[in-house]
Amino acid sequence: MSEDLSLFPAPDAPHSLSHHLSRASAKVAGFLEAGLQGAANTERAYTSDLKSYVTFCEQHGFVAVPAEVGTLTEYVAYLASEKVEPAPGGNRGKKKGQQPLTGPHALATIKRHLAAIRKAHQLAGHRLPATLDALNIVMEGIARTLGKRQEQAQAFTIEELKQAIRRIDLETSAGLRDRALLLLGFAGAFRRSELVDLNIEQLEFTERALLVHLAKSKTNQYGVVEDKAIFYAPNADFCPVRCLRAWLKLLGRTTGPLFVKIPRARPGQMAAPSDKRLSDISINKLVQKRLGPDYSAHSLRVSFVTVAVLNGQSHKAIKNQTKQKTDAMIERYTQLNNVVSYNAAHALGL
């Protein structure tokens, strides 16, 4: 988070965390920095969120820091809006420099924006207003409104995944990469951010399974190494381990980003993969390209949970792969909403 200090001018007051960082010993400064950090993907998201917040304040004449409650309520309402509200009398109502939303943002994203603003205030030695009742009420309204129209990522079936894999052209670099990513992402119940951050050196191939060592994740902020086990499948065409090996053979290296961008190749030639890591947006587009527009990168994780539940796996066994902390999250991810296909009325004995 140290780069975020540039977005918010920190005061020189003794209570400022930036003041402590500048004067503390190397050991103390290191622990202070570590205490303000989170998973790498969260760090990137916070930086992007803060830039969005500062831009919003500049466009609307608000003071970004220290923030007033009214500023925060206006900002979260902006994030939850379907589109940017037109300015009176402007060219079709759009303010100069105003960036229209693709919105509405997910409730979790809006909460993350607020967390980023709180973190930036903490770094700069400021406190958010003690009374945030108005903000809490607005957030409750946003939760009720968005909850009615936002749906979770759609789950796919095993057969739908296999059909998508069969359609991939494996004579191309992108085909080998995409097949490996889809199968690994599903079999490992990976979050999109985890797929983005994966490095080759985190992979350990054993006789029984591929072990993927994760140092940090959304639910593991303290760097305790967690392992995911990816098992061999009988059919080599759909085996995540063997398909990943095929991709690694093409990469031709033993360190660095696992899933990378691929430049255009000349007709009839296999493109050489770059060393530039795929972004979270790129992975989302990749999933939609291969599985269809109704799906997203999160569908890989949701589908794992749904298929595992249908196969009779226990919540404990599922959490051992997903690294979710509660059974409630398993219930949330499980998509068995089809009233005809999944209904106890099938077996009433009538």
Q: What is the pLDDT of residue 32?
A: 54
Domains of the chain with CATH codes:
2-147 (1.10.150.130), 158-333 (1.10.443.10)
Q: What is the pLDDT of residue 145?
A: 85
147 vs 139: CA distance, rounded Å = 12
Q: What is the pLDDT of residue 94?
A: 42
Q: What is the pLDDT of residue 218?
A: 55
**Of the candidates 58, 75, 62, the residue with the CA atom closest to the CA atom of residue 117:** 75
Could you tell me if residue 5 is left (phi over 0), alpha (psi between -120 and 50 degrees) or otherwise beta?
alpha
279 vs 203: CA distance, rounded Å = 20
Contact indicator for 245, 227 with CB cutoff of 8 Å: no
> Which value, to the nearest 10 degrees, does the dihedral of the CA atoms of residues 339, 343, 347, 350 take?
-40
Q: What is the pLDDT of residue 92?
A: 39
First to last CA, the chain: 63
Name the packing angle between helices 298-310 and 173-187 (round to 10°): 50
Q: What is the pLDDT of residue 278?
A: 97
123 vs 19: CA distance, rounded Å = 9
Q: What is the pLDDT of residue 91?
A: 40
196 vs 257: CA distance, rounded Å = 8
What pLDDT tens digit does each residue of the chain (350 aa) get? 444 445 554 444 444 445 544 555 566 556 555 655 555 556 677 888 888 999 999 999 999 988 999 999 999 999 988 654 443 333 433 444 444 545 678 888 899 899 889 888 887 778 776 667 889 999 999 988 887 555 668 899 999 999 999 999 999 999 999 999 999 999 999 999 999 999 999 999 999 999 999 976 555 555 568 899 999 999 999 999 999 999 999 999 999 999 999 998 777 778 999 999 999 999 999 999 999 999 999 999 999 999 999 899 988 898 889 887 776 777 767 766 655 566 666 566 65
14 vs 124: CA distance, rounded Å = 11
Name the packing angle between helices 107-123 and 133-147 (round to 10°): 150
